[in-house]
Amino acid sequence: MIFVDSGGWFASAVTDDDDYEIAKNWLNENKEPLFTTNYIVDETLTLLRARGENQKALQVGKLFFDGLLASIYYLSEEDIFYSWEIFQKFADKDWSFTDCSSKYVCEKFGISQAFSFDKHFRQFGTVTIVP
């Protein structure tokens, strides 16, 4: 199972993104199941809309909620608490709270690969970045 971050989703959806070709090709070739969180879905759809990609946000949202892109994990209250612990512990990093929740979820489920273009995932030290 491979965790997918919002940067991977965004790059694969927006044709003028610098990483579009890499992202699209990797998604087309990947055979492993994809996994993401409700926080990543939120971040992805918000980013698409904020960058003027409203139609793309609606299309990607439909694919998410129709179950066609990845398994979506919905963070529990306990998950949020542990994400907050990570956020505090790594206060020297500029990780977002969503980054911290992603780190926690990857560790919780033993996910060792992440499809991401976010440098913060490299800093986690617990996942290998693909592509």
Q: HSE on the CB side for 100, CA within 13 Å?
A: 19
Nearest alpha carbon to residue 74 among 105, 118, 97: 105
> Residue 85 domain-assigned?
no
Q: pLDDT per residue over 34-78, tens digit each?
A: 999 999 999 999 999 999 999 999 999 999 999 999 999 999 999
> How many domains, in total, are found in the chain?
1
> Residue 101 domain-assigned?
no
CATH number (domain holding residue 21): 3.40.50.1010
118 token code pair: 């976010």
Instruction: Tell me the residue range of the domain where 64 lies.
Output: 2-75+109-130
Q: pLDDT per residue over 91-118, tens digit each?
A: 999 999 999 999 999 999 999 999 999 8
> Residue 25 domain-assigned?
yes
pTM exceeding 0.85? yes
- What is the residue whose two structure tokens read 């030290």? 125
